[in-house]
Amino acid sequence: MKSIESGLSEKLDEIAKRAGALKGLSSGCRYCTGDYPWLARYDLLRKRIVINEKFLNLLTRDEALAVLVHEEAHAAQRVRYIIRSIFAIIFSTVIIFAATQAEFALLGLLYMPQSVAIVLILILTLFDLGIMLPLVVKAAACTFNLKRFEMEADVLAAREIGKDQLISALEKAQTGVRHDSAPRKLFRWWMNYVDSCVHLPYEKRLEYIRGV
């Protein structure tokens, strides 16, 4: 793991001083790169911005700045984001718990051999993990408007660095190393799905940025 060149951090400090869209942008974040299974993330626990090293190497200096400003915006939004995320998790947990309890209650009403019951439980478990869980996660993200944080971060990056630079970075994210280092295809699929819950669809996102 290595630190991002100091020039980018210094430029970010300059941007933070004049950025009025989000208060508290200058959050004292650390920036580091590595072989991460994502392109760029704000690490809530360690209060740092981490970027996939292969992705960073594809970017020009201004494109990298656009990505960093986007993630810095999340650092400034972290309290609101955490609160909404907690409510979204509670919302999802309640729905999943209620659904699974209803499933087991229904199984209890049916008379069947033990082997059939085991097969049905396995089928319901796969259904819950493969279909219900993703649907509940998307419903929670929509209910608590988590896409708003991504849109605000895009606005700040586009205004401070430039629309073209942010769009170019997003295009490279689409065609470059998107989750290339994830160890399993299922994990890559899940991360892509979570991204789709909190981001606008790609073309709509570009259209939104162009309209800033």
Strand 30-34 and strand 2-3: pairing?
A: antiparallel
Same domain, 115 and 22: no
Q: Is residue 196 part of a domain?
A: yes
Contact in structure between 76 and 27 (CB atoms under 8 Å): yes
Q: Is residue 140 part of a domain?
A: no
Shared domain check, 48 and 127: no
Q: Are 47 and 30 in contact (CB under 8 A)?
A: yes
d(CA 114, CA 180): 43
Evaluate whether 128 touches 96 at the Cβ level (below 8 Å). Answer: yes
Tell me the average pLDDT across 156-184. Answer: 78
pLDDT at 20: 41
Regarding whether 109 and 193 lie in a shared domain, the answer is no
Could you identify the residue written with the tokens 């991460």? Answer: 36
Residues 4-44 pLDDT 10s: 555 555 555 555 554 443 444 444 556 677 676 677 888 77
Residues 117 and 151 placed together within one structural domain of the fold: no
Q: How confident is the model at residue 163 (pLDDT cuts 50, 70, 90)?
A: very high
Please check whether residues 29 and 89 belong to one and the same domain.
no
Note the pLDDT of residue 23: 40
* Helix, strand counts (H, E) of the chain: 10, 4
Looking at residue 13, its pLDDT comes to: 58
The pLDDT of residue 210 is: 92
Instruction: Tell me the C-alpha distance between 155 and 161, whole Å.
Output: 10
pLDDT at 166: 93
pLDDT on residue 31: 66
Range of the domain at 62: 2-77+146-210
Q: Are residues 91 and 158 in the same domain?
A: no
Task: Give me the pLDDT at residue 8, please.
Answer: 58
Q: Do 70 and 157 lie in a common domain?
A: yes
Q: To which residue do tokens 């699974």 refer?
A: 100
For residues 190 and 88, membership in a common domain is answered with no
Q: Within this chain, do residues 62 and 93 fall inside the same structural domain, yes or no?
A: no
Mark whether 113 and 203 lie in a shared domain: no
Most confident listed range (53-62, 117-126, 151-160): 151-160
Whether residue 51 contacts residue 29, with contact meaning beta carbons closer than 8 Å, is answered with: no
Q: Identify the DSSP state of 21.
A: S
Q: How far is CA 67 from CA 56, 99, 129, 132, 176, in A?
A: 9, 39, 32, 33, 15
Q: Taking the complete model, does pTM exceed 0.95, yes or no?
A: no
Q: Are 108 and 188 in contact (CB under 8 A)?
A: no
DSSP state of 131: I
* Count of domains for the chain: 2
Strands 40-43 and 2-3: unpaired
Distance from C-alpha of 45 to C-alpha of 57, rounded to nearest angstrom: 26
Residue 137 domain-assigned? no
91/179 same-domain check: no
pLDDT on residue 21: 39
